[in-house]
Amino acid sequence: MPNRPQPAFPEPNTQEYWEGVKAGELRYQTCNDCSNVVFTPRRHCDRCGGTNLATKVSKGEGEVYTYSVVRQSGMPGFREMGAYTVAYVDLDEGFRVLTSVVGAADPTKDIKIGDRVKVEFEKQDSGDYPIPVFRQV
């Protein structure tokens, strides 16, 4: 199993997002005042400054906006992983996440910008939180 770094708490902006991940949900926020989609999670709307936010659950489907295959990394948990992807995925609900696209036999050849992907919650060797990653559909 992979052993990606875990989120750490207390961190008030992202706590609810990660509680969602633990429950198998990809959560995002919308603003009740101006209907802006708010992501990365925070406690105010980045368009109007209001604090009247609603938490929603995404279907977890979207497309690859861009990606890179990291072939040289000195980071613990990744150094040993071999080539791995880092990607921005645009969710159908209108928010963009930094993530990884997993499951491609050869990530340097088998992933294209615009590919449809779906979230999965990847179990980790250690730590309480699975990590949301995406797989091509």
Partner 1 sequence: MEMKAQSIKAALDDAGLKWSDVDGLYDAQDGEGGGGLGLAAYLGFKPSVIDTTQVGGSSYEFQTAHAWRDITAGKCKVAVLSYGSTAASNRVAIGTGGRAAPIPTWASNMEGSYGGTLISNYAMVKNRHLHMYGSTMEQFAQISVTTRKHAMRNPEAVKAMTDLQFVGINEITVADVLDSRIIADPLHLLECCMVSDGGGALVIVSADVARDTKKKPVWIIGSGEATKYRENGGDITVSAGAQSGPIAFAEADVKPSEIDIAMIYDSFTITVATCLEDLGFAPKGQFGDLVKDGQLNFDNPYKLTLNTDGGGLSSNHPGMRGLFLLLESVRQLRGESTSQVDGAKLAVAHGNGGLLGGTHTGGTVILAKD
Residues at the site binding Zn ion, with contacts judged by CB under 5 A: 31, 33-34, 36, 45, 47-48, 50
Is residue 133 within 8 A of residue 99, CB to CB? The reply is yes
Beta carbon of residue 74, minimum distance to partner 1 (angstroms, whole number): 4
68 touches partner 1 (CB under 8 A): yes
26 touches partner 1 (CB under 8 A): no
Beta carbon of residue 57, minimum distance to partner 1 (angstroms, whole number): 17
Binding flags for partner 1, 43-62, as an x/- string (CB under 8 A)? --------------------
CA 16 to chain centre: 14
- Cα–Cα distance for residue pair 29/53, rounded to 1 Å: 6
76 touches partner 1 (CB under 8 A): yes
**3-class secondary-structure state, position 26:** coil
8 touches partner 1 (CB under 8 A): yes
Is residue 13 within 8 A of residue 43, CB to CB? The reply is yes
Instruction: Give me the phi and psi of 69, to 5 degrees please.
Output: -105, 115
7 touches partner 1 (CB under 8 A): yes
Which segments of 4-60 are extended strands (E)? 27-31, 37-38, 53-57
Which residues make up the interface to partner 1 (CB under 8 A)?
4-11, 13-14, 17-18, 37, 39-42, 65-78, 81, 84, 86-88, 90, 94-100, 108, 113-114, 131
